[in-house]
Amino acid sequence: MILTDTHIHLYSEDYEKDREDLIENAFQQNIERFFLPAIDSETTEAMYELEARYPENVFLMMGLHPTHVQENYEEELKHVEEQFERRRFYAVGEIGIDLHWDKSTLEIQQKAFRWQIKLAKKYKLPIVIHCRKAFDEIFDILGEEKSDDLFGIFHCFTGNLEQAKRALSYNLKLGIGGVVTFKNGKIDKFLNEIPLEEIVLETDGPYLSPTPFRGKRNEPEYLIKVAEKLAGIYEKPLAEIAEITTRNSKDIFGI
């Protein structure tokens, strides 16, 4: 049994003191594949260092996170483009729109999102979408960009059934993490109406720890709590959840 975490910020300073122990603990739970989303240029070197240390387990994305789309966003996007010219990545991410913290940057967030979708199409790579309080804005752009070469993951999906089906219509799988274990998370109420073949697992560590660790640092091994919750929702053995969701991740990332 191999579990795949399709979204974890392993380079985060929150893991600075015990990162190696946390990764080893995850290995003991059969969590062996970690896909790391980029935030901005300041996280690039830390990502490269982790990849060098765990070349068989750590796989990198590159992109500009929507909350980091600020006045210097064009400079940051240039950095993203330069990295793609240098080497291989497995996705463009995480990208999207976040209207929780700052609505004043919506216009440049939209520009950055569109630009990075086009970059993904250029390199024939998946996109990994961050969406917070911006479903309509995200779907508007996905509708404009919809094509056979647009695909990826709707990371940390927290919407309703209608929004889930709409995400799937854009050739996106749903990234399911700790929210599925929350009493008020709601997605556990309808998730069994979504085929398991459209689901990938994630922690989004160090954020969004699953129950019973909610409010604390999310650790890599906690992915097992998400997988166990899905085993209950889909009424399937844990090993089958691991097999199908890992296969789904391979379909998306090509590895």
pLDDT tens digits along 137-157: 999 999 999 999 999 999 999
Predicted confidence at residue 179, as pLDDT, reads: 97
208, 219 Cβ separation under 8 angstroms:
no
Q: What pLDDT score was predicted for residue 193?
A: 98
Question: What does DSSP assign to residue 62?
Answer: B
Ranges of residues in the chain with a pLDDT under 70 are none
User: Which token pair is 181?
Assistant: 């274990």
For residue 79, say whether it is annotated as part of any ligand binding site.
no
Q: Could you tell me the residue ranges of all domains in the chain?
A: 3-253
Going from the C-alpha of 144 to that of each of 63, 91, 118, 130, the distances in angstroms are 20, 20, 11, 18
Would you state the pLDDT for residue 15?
Answer: 98
pLDDT of residue 189: 95
pLDDT at residue 214, as a whole number: 96
Instruction: Provide the CA 254 distance to its chain's centre, in angstroms.
Output: 15
Task: Return phi, psi of residue 7, to 5°.
Answer: -165, 100
What pLDDT score does 251 carry?
98
Predicted pLDDT at 92 = 98
3-253: CATH architecture: Alpha-Beta Barrel (3.20)
Instruction: Tell me if 7 is assigned to a ligand binding site.
Output: yes
Does 130 belong to an annotated binding site? Answer: yes
Residue-level pLDDT at 1? 95
**Cβ-contact 65, 56 below 8 angstroms:** no
